[in-house]
Chain A
């Protein structure tokens, strides 16, 4: 059990900083939460835009734990990984706690060796012992501790097993006794390079090896700290070494580490039996199977449609909007306001047709909140299940048609959550070209949760066939625009290499915590915009400009799209946030003002609109003003064009 016995700390730990470092998908964040509890702050790591969580350790007085982004190995390959290198190079750390995957012992030890070379006090948590044992792998933690000369704890983060020995290990973090001998050419390079390197938080030897392997962070740090003449001497040394080696220095270093790690792993790993594949592994293989993978994907998408569209946007919204708000809260609020504020103008501002309460707050809380909550729950569970990278495998061929690889499925699916956030996550993609392509497709053809739920609710009110038409048109637009822009844009497509983590049952607590955090963000971000949009409509209405504006857009709305004139105000709102428009249309549908054909046409059009003002800001920030302006000018007319064409095609097929 995880009671702490920290009353007798063996080393003074006041104010010490402990960095959690490890490969991705090793349970680092869960261990972090077990070590820190609830007092955690998440903020951008200084000098970067990557978020890092920090918290006071519960069982170690005065210590602060830093949760670094998962790193496959040094040198880092992405913006996230670079932060981990930065923490090690620049943060005044007291010790490093490596979290490793017990069943991938060699991969874990490759990182352990690199940390040992840095000569920072370190401890190792061999996590996921349960998964290792299920595969017949039994690493001997105390033996490993003896061989490495650092404390090693065997843990299962999900159940909390081994937490006591982990806290003990952290308190006794030590500098490892492991020193690897590299081929003479590299050793000679290191011997001459070390005196030229400035004093660092990690050993000169490790710094030299990182720099030799091409680590960008180490390079930047050197350029900042080392005198120019030392730098040119170092570069000359490196050039001389490269001439002497037959292979790249990186590979030579890796081979030495690999040989050491293999010996070590063989000594401490007891393989009891060649265990058969577990249920999770079998299911995992089915999800990427060329035949069975597709129905599984379809079933998951249908499940999402049902949970968010039918349950969230149908049942829950019905209970909240018609029941709680329609019958109980709003009549009472309207009565109170009209009684307390006799001035018509001010009472209208709150509870009129475009009232802050009757429109703004009701839309935000009764119509959207249930939808957004069900979406965040479903998405959080999907994220934790390990299924998303498998979607990348299944969809790789599809994305290769539009000049991308399956990795693009991650921002695209995140876009189903929030296009603004997803635009930011395009950073995980490898090239500028991919980032730009995905940004365009996100802005044009990926509906976000706020809107998606309303859309699903509306479609569920028509028929499943209507949902298929909507999905088909959006997918066709996505492929067509993607195909065209991939051909127009210079550059080469990057091939897919992706890790498939084991499928896991999501932990309810973890999903709830994530949902709560995202919900807080949504309320802070979207609700004020809802109010501002409502206020804008109210002012336009009071100045008698609204009828004029609506009249001006009528040729497009009624003529070209074949919608009732009231839809114009919904579309005007769609310029601010398209879920406003969707919600307005939902409102019209539930009052019988839209025919099935009009529902499909209007929501296809609104889905193709730019998501919201916030997403435009994000595109400007990530891709620049020119790109953002170009997208706006292209997307709005294009969305209207597709909507009108769809209306005519559907009429041809006998819809009315």
Chain B
């Protein structure tokens, strides 16, 4: 899929072949881009979007346990697995 882009820039390679994954599966320290939202109640969805979790945004994954903790701009947000797994993302940059 994005194999040729790997050669151009080693660091900006997709994490798992560029496929969409749940935010809960992204490794700590990685940078991911939000693609879409899965099955979330409207209230949870609006809550996330109010923090700037919108399609196209890049967020950094800070931790996976005990909860998924991400950095949106400079705001740290903790999400339980059942929510994080419904935020579909693609890898932008591996943990450094």
Binding site for B on A (CB under 8 A): 72-73, 75, 77, 101, 103-107, 110, 131-132, 135, 137, 248, 250-251, 254-255, 258, 284-285, 288-290, 293, 389, 392-394, 396-397, 405, 430, 495-502
* A495-B54 in contact (CB<8A): no
Residues in chain B near residue A497, CB distance under 8 A: 44, 47-48, 77-80, 83
A-B contact pairs, 7 of them (CB 8 A): A103-B73, A107-B51, A131-B74, A248-B42, A255-B54, A288-B78, A501-B76
Contact A106–B63 (Cβ < 8 Å): no
The reply to whether B47 and A77 form a contact with Cβ atoms under 8 Å apart is: yes
Q: Knowing A396-B80, A397-B66, A497-B83 touch, does A103 contact B55 (C-beta < 8 A)?
A: no
- Known interface pairs A255-B55, A396-B80, A397-B66. Does A107 touch B73 (Cβ–Cβ under 8 Å)? yes
A495 touches B83 (CB 8 A): yes
Q: Which residues of B are found within 8 Å of A499, using beta-carbon distances?
A: 51, 75-78
Residue numbers in B under 8 Å from A135 (CB-CB): 74
**Residues of A contacting B69 with CB < 8 Å?**
288, 393, 500
Cα of A285 to Cα of B61 in the assembled complex, Å: 12
Kindly state the separation between the CA atoms of A394 and B44 in the bound complex, as whole angstroms. Answer: 21
Q: Which residues of A contact B47 (CB under 8 A)?
A: 72, 77, 497
Q: Tally the A-B contacts, defined by beta carbons under 8 Å.
A: 98
B56 in contact (CB, < 8 A): yes
Chain B, residue nearest A262 (CB): B56
Interface check B3, CB cutoff 8 A: no
Chain B residues with CB below 8 A from A110, complex form? 52
Contact of A500 among B66, B77, B83 (CB under 8 A): B77
At the interface, yes or no: B19 with Cβ under 8 Å from chain A? no
Give Cα distance in the complex from A262 to B44, angstroms.
23
A502–B74 alpha-carbon span in the complex (Å) = 9
Most buried by B among A73, A135, A248, A392: A73
| Interface status of B65 (Cβ within 8 A of chain A) | yes
Most buried by A among B46, B52, B67, B72: B67
Is B50 part of the binding interface, using a Cβ–Cβ cutoff of 8 Å? Answer: yes
Contacts of B54 in A (CB 8 A): 254-255, 258
Min Cβ gap B95→A in Å is: 14
Q: Is the CB of A288 within 8 A of B66?
A: yes
> Assuming A75-B46, A110-B52, A250-B46, is B67 touching A496 (CB within 8 A)?
yes
Of B42, B49, B66, most A-chain CB atoms within 10 Å:
B66
Q: Would you call A107 and B52 a contact (CB within 8 A)? A: yes
A389: B residues at CB distance < 8 A: 78
A104 near B79 (CB under 8 angstroms)? Answer: no
Task: Give the chain A neighbours of B1 by CB distance below 8 A.
Answer: none
State A242–B63 Cα separation when bound (angstroms): 38
User: In the complex, are the beta carbons of B74 and A393 less than 8 A apart?
Assistant: no
Residues of B within 8 A of A103 (CB): 73-74
B82 within 8 A of A: yes
Q: Contact: B51 with A500, CB < 8 Å?
A: no
**A110 CB → nearest B CB, Å:** 7
- Return the chain A residue nearest B77 by Cβ: A499
Q: Closest Cβ of chain A: how far from B65's Cβ, in Å?
A: 5
B70 to chain A, nearest CB (A): 10
Given known A254-B49, A255-B54, A430-B43, contact A104–B83 (CB-CB < 8 A):
no
Among residues of A, the one whose C-beta sits closest to the C-beta of B86 is A495
Residue B62 interfacial (CB < 8 Å) = yes
Q: How far is the CA of A430 from the CA of B42 in the complex (A)?
A: 13
Distance in angstroms between the alpha carbons of A104 and B71 in the assembled complex: 11
* Inter-chain contacts of B52 with A (CB < 8 A): 104, 106-107, 110, 258
In the complex formed, the residue of B with least CB distance to A281 is B76
A72 to B51, CA, bound (A): 7
**Chain A residues near B80 (CB-CB < 8 A):** 396, 405, 495-497
In the complex, the answer to whether B73 meets A285 with C-beta atoms within 8 Å is no
A107 touches B78 (CB 8 A): no
- Which A residues are CB-close (under 8 A) to B62? 285
Q: Is the CB of B73 within 8 A of A396?
A: no
Give Cα A392–Cα B78 distance, bound, in whole angstroms.
9
- Measured between beta carbons, the chain B residues less than 8 angstroms from A289 are 63
Can you add 11 more A-B contacts, CB < 8 Å, to A107-B75, A250-B46?
A77-B43, A103-B73, A106-B73, A250-B49, A258-B56, A495-B44, A496-B79, A497-B78, A500-B69, A500-B77, A500-B78
In the complex, A72→B44 CA distance in Å?
Answer: 13
Give 4 nearest A-B pairs by CB, closest first: A73-B50, A103-B74, A500-B76, A72-B50
Nearest A residue to B48, CB-CB:
A497
Whether the Cβ atoms of A393 and B78 lie closer than 8 Å is: yes
Which residue from chain B places its CB closest to the CB of A259 in the assembled complex?
A: B56
Distance in Å: Cβ of A396 to nearest Cβ of chain B? 6
Bound-state CA distance A258–B93 (Å) is 22
**Taking the nearest CB of chain A, how far is it from the CB of B13, in angstroms?**
19
**Contact residues in B for A72 (Cβ distance below 8 Å):** 47, 50-51
| B78 touches which of A137, A430, A498, A502 (Cβ 8 Å) | A498
CB distance from B39 to the nearest CB of A (A): 12
The answer for the CA separation of A605 and B17 in the assembled complex, in Å, is 60
- Assess A498 versus B46: contact at CB under 8 Å? Given A107-B52, A254-B54, A393-B69: no
B82's nearest neighbour on chain A, judged by CB, is: A495
Q: How far is the CA of A501 from the CA of B69 in the complex (A)?
A: 12
Residues of A within 8 A of B67 (CB): 288, 393, 396, 496
Of chain B, the residue at the smallest CB distance from A290 is B65
Q: Which of B49, B76, B82 contacts A251 (CB 8 A)?
A: B49
